[in-house]
Chain A
Amino acid sequence: MGVELFTDIASQYNYLGVVILMMIGLYAMIAKNNLVKKIIGMNIFQTAIILFYVSTGAKRGATIPIIQHGHNGHGHEVIHAAEYINPLPHVLMLTAIVVSVATLGVALALAIKVYHQYGTLEEDEIRGRLRE
């Protein structure tokens, strides 16, 4: 049992890293008082999901998803799917990274608006101002 558990963790340590990173982000979103820290927590959470997707695309012994010698004539050599890693997660995360930067911009813009309105970014102080 002990050895099995160890080999399980050793062969799946990518998921372990993803879970740890995701929980750091979740904790920051729940427990931190400062809005900018919450936004950074959200970004860490997004990074964990990106890492998860990219790691599912990996194949042992395969290379990057660019067909070798693909530019001089195509279709001559037989291409095996096992030789190239899965391009699909890379595509999805490529767009997700840029969109996460854009949403980070919107979140920071909202934070600037909140700061102009209430003079602070601390959540308890904002709640205090709202009650007044």
Chain B
Amino acid sequence: MRVIGLLIVIAFGSLLRYGVFFFPEWGDPASPASLHVSPHYIEEATAETAVPNLVTAVLADYRGYDTMFETTVIFAAGLACFMLLRVLQRQVPECRLYRHIPTGITLRIEKGGKLPTESGSFERIDANWVPHDLIIKTTARFITPFLQIFALYVIAHGHHSPGGGFQGGVILGAAIIMFAISYDLRRSIQRIGEQATAVLGSAGVLIYAGTGVLCMVLGADFLNYSALAGLMGVDPVMARSHSMLIVEIGVGVAVSAVMVWIYYNLSSAGRHDEGL
């Protein structure tokens, strides 16, 4: 298998290398990729949409269909992980482990047993024993709010600086996943439950598609944001800019929720009790 694989790889690689000879030089301003529609985007986008960040303008306006269905693909991926892995009947674990935080003693409670009443300083830990990482937990708790604020900044400021719904949504999801890794899965699910991730994921897609449908109701094409100018009380160009922000918020909500949803299902193999 190794030899066949190597032969196929060398054959394909030399074929690609041969084909690449006819490609334009790297950084050639007159390469075919930069001549067709992109000059229009670069020269007219600010006048047509009032968004200086061309990537955001092309992403959310000129190619809004593409982005909408990419968001749908992400939601479908989250749904697929849920369908594949989720175990819905709740099994009672064989034993549960509790750690007494001041002394570090681990308490093992068999099936059916109960924790002693004065149990304020006990914390539940996973069955494969993990040490009490004070530094990691404190650092993660300290960083998480700053990460979330940064994620919101990246979403909200995507019109003027590198950023947007996808990037900010991934940072927001990563902040929650970092919390889940540094503490444990149960504590993260207590804060943002599985239902919340599912509802937020579909809500994000709904915000995006709903903006498009609203444009249709107001008599324009699907996702033609200039139709919303009357509702927002601004001129059609600024209406495009504002609608892009709405759409980016939808994308950010969907992406962050689905990232967390996928993590919950993958890390615990669908049982949602013990995980990474």
Task: State whether these chains interact.
Answer: yes
Q: Which residues of A contact B (CB under 8 A)?
A: 8, 11-16, 19-20, 22-23, 26-27, 30-31, 33, 55-62, 64-68, 70-71, 74-75, 79-82, 84, 86-92, 94-95, 97-99, 101-103, 105-106, 108-110, 112-113, 116
User: Which stretch, B44-52, B99-107, B119-127, B219-227, touches the partner chain A?
Assistant: B44-52
Chain A residue nearest to B1 (CB atoms) is A31
Q: Which residues of B have CB within 8 Å of A92?
A: 66
Chain A residue nearest to B16 (CB atoms) is A19
Q: Which residues of A have CB within 8 Å of B160?
A: 66, 70-71
Q: A12-B23, A19-B13, A64-B162 in contact; A113/B58 too (CB < 8 A)?
A: no
Let me know if B138 is at the binding interface, CB within 8 A. Answer: no
Please measure, in the bound complex, the distance between the C-alpha atom of A105 and the C-alpha atom of B85, giving whole angstroms. 11
Interchain CB contact under 8 A, A86 and B50? no
Q: A87-B55, A105-B81 in contact; A74/B50 too (CB < 8 A)?
A: yes
In the complex, besides A30-B5, A66-B55, 17 extra interface pairs with C-beta distance below 8 angstroms are A13-B26, A16-B20, A19-B13, A19-B20, A30-B4, A60-B27, A60-B28, A65-B53, A67-B54, A70-B52, A89-B33, A94-B167, A103-B77, A105-B81, A109-B266, A110-B84, A113-B84
Please measure, in the bound complex, the distance between the C-alpha atom of A99 and the C-alpha atom of B254, giving whole angstroms. 12
Interchain CB contact under 8 A, A30 and B77? no
Q: Which residues of A have CB within 8 Å of B47?
A: 74-75
Q: Which residues of A have CB within 8 Å of B167?
A: 94
Please measure, in the bound complex, the distance between the C-alpha atom of A89 and the C-alpha atom of B37, giving whole angstroms. 12
Chain B residue nearest to A7 (CB atoms) is B25
Most-contacted residue by chain B among A22, A58, A81, A109 (CB, 10 A):
A109
Interchain CB contact under 8 A, B52 and A106? no
Nearest-Cβ distance from residue A73 to partner chain B, whole angstroms = 10
Q: Give the secondary structure class of B's interface.
A: helix
Interchain CB contact under 8 A, A15 and B78? no
Please measure, in the bound complex, the distance between the C-alpha atom of A61 and the C-alpha atom of B78, giving whole angstroms. 41
Interchain CB contact under 8 A, B54 and A87? yes
- 27 A-B pairs with CB atoms under 8 Å apart are A12-B20, A15-B20, A26-B8, A30-B4, A31-B5, A56-B33, A57-B33, A58-B26, A59-B27, A61-B29, A65-B54, A66-B53, A66-B55, A66-B160, A67-B45, A71-B52, A71-B160, A82-B29, A86-B34, A88-B37, A98-B74, A99-B70, A105-B78, A105-B266, A108-B266, A109-B265, A112-B85
